[in-house]
Homo-oligomer: A and B are copies of this chain.
Amino acid sequence: MKTCIRLEEIMQLELRERAHFINSVGGFKSIGLIGTSDRQGQTNLAIFSSIVHIGANPPLISFIMRPDSVERHTLSNILSTGYYTINHVNESIFQKAHQTSARYPQEVSEFEVTGLTREYKNDFFAPFVQESAVQLGVQFKERIDLTINQTIMIIGQIEQVHFPKDCLHPDGYLDIEKAGTISCSGLDSYHKTQRIDRLPYAKL
């Protein structure tokens, strides 16, 4: 049986309850571990669930962050160095990935406390997560301040993609389910996937 909740009631929910609810209603989310480093080599790793493709030509990807949160080290590193990595989360690392959302002080690297492995390669400035099957090296392009609620949208250009060779289809589709990538709903629910079908390009 369906029920309905309206804005007035949503706004009366307790803060954490409202966060759980509103984070759930948008559907399943992309999650990724964003790896950064400051100029002195102090690394940072944080999980984000608002990663969105915004175009393929050039290849651009965005995510949303709150300035007042644990995410601020990620932001300052991106703005000062211009580079970051986005690393897919899989079933074997999702607990460690989730733990990066705790409020560690700046001098603590989430790589060290979670045991996830820093991987530097291809002369890319920012650290990848070795345990991640699909890894993106991204160059910062634009910051958009969303004045409506003081969040920040970060747009970057994909400079390199590391992925398991056998997951790439001839038509360009990358089988991220085969790569073990998982999804998230709400603030804390992690889900693996099972393909229903791929459909042909929709025609009239």
* A interface list, Cβ under 8 A from B: 1-7, 10-11, 13-32, 50-61, 64, 66, 86, 88, 91, 94-95, 98-104, 122, 133-134, 136, 141-142, 144, 146, 148-149, 151, 153, 155, 157-166, 168-169, 171-177, 181-183, 185-204
Contact = CB atoms under 8 A, between A and B. Distances in A.
Contacts of A133: 2
Among A168, A193, A197: residue with most chain B CB under 10 A: A193
A4 B160 contact: yes
B146 A54 contact: yes
Nearest to A182: B196
A24 B162 CA distance: 13
Contacts of A88: 27
A195 B199 contact: no
Nearest to A47: B202
Nearest to A105: B204
Contact of A163 (B2, B99, B155): B2
Nearest to A66: B55
B3 A163 contact: yes
B146 A155 contact: yes
Given A54-B149, A148-B155, A163-B3, A28 B30 contact: yes
A158 B53 contact: no
A1 B164 CA distance: 5
A15 to B, nearest CB: 7
Contacts of A59: 7, 10, 18, 22, 25
